[in-house]
Structure 1
Amino acid sequence: MSVDWRALHPGERVVVRRRRDDDPAPGEPRLTDVLGDVVRCDDDGLTVRTRGGDVDVPGADVVLAKRVPPPPPRRPR
């Protein structure tokens, strides 16, 4: 269920669909997803801590935000 991104709180695990901040080539998607934990959420936007590092998402770029369950435990190799 989608939520207003302004209602998210630090520590929550989310997926945020956002407009790309670069200029996608023809045929490339105009949107991208950011999955991770909210670090900051204010009137300007939010910061999501992903496995690859922190991603700042301006509020104007958010298309959809959704709380998601924690990741499954890693399986031993």
Structure 2
Amino acid sequence: MTSADLPPWREWAVGTRVMVRRTLADDAHRYTDVLGEIVRTDASGLVLRTRTGDEVEVPGDEIAIGKPVPPPPARRRPRRSPDEPAPTDP
């Protein structure tokens, strides 16, 4: 099998952040998305680590579409409540 014959997800490197749309095992007409960093990729499918740290196995025959995505945006500082004093500069 040449690289032209491989599904695109087989070429994604471990550590790449991706979004994968997969068919639900019980209904081929319904989908769910998985967003995470690739932990493993092989002929059987992908294993993704989500932002919560869970590892989700996605069988290759359930992958409908997918693509690499940029890193998540930086977390914003929490807003302070109106009654909280403003921080002072040192």
TM over 0.5: yes
Hey, what does 1:33 align to over in structure 2?
A: 33
Structure of higher RCO (CA pairs closer than 8 Å, 6+ residues apart): 1
TM-score with structure 1 setting the length = 0.83
Identity %: 51
Residues 40-59 of structure 1: CA distance to partner in whole angstroms, max 9, x if unpaired?
A: 00000000101231100000
Residues 19-76 of structure 1: CA distance to partner in whole angstroms, max 9, x if unpaired?
A: 113459xxxx710000010000000000010123110000000001100000000001
Hey, what does 2:46 align to over in structure 1?
A: 46
- Work out the CA distance in 2 between the residues paired with 1:16 and 1:23: 17
Aligned to 2:8, which of 4, 7, 11?
4
More strand per residue: 1 or 2? 1
SS at match of 1:30: strand
Aligned length: 71
Q: Could you tell me which runs of 5 or more consecutive residues in structure 1 were left unpaired when the two chains were aligned.
A: none
Q: Could you tell me which runs of 5 or more consecutive residues in structure 2 were left unpaired when the two chains were aligned.
A: 1-6, 79-90
Hey, what does 2:21 align to over in structure 1?
A: 17
Q: CA RMSD, aligned part only?
A: 1.8
Deviation above 6 Å: which 4+ runs of structure 1? none
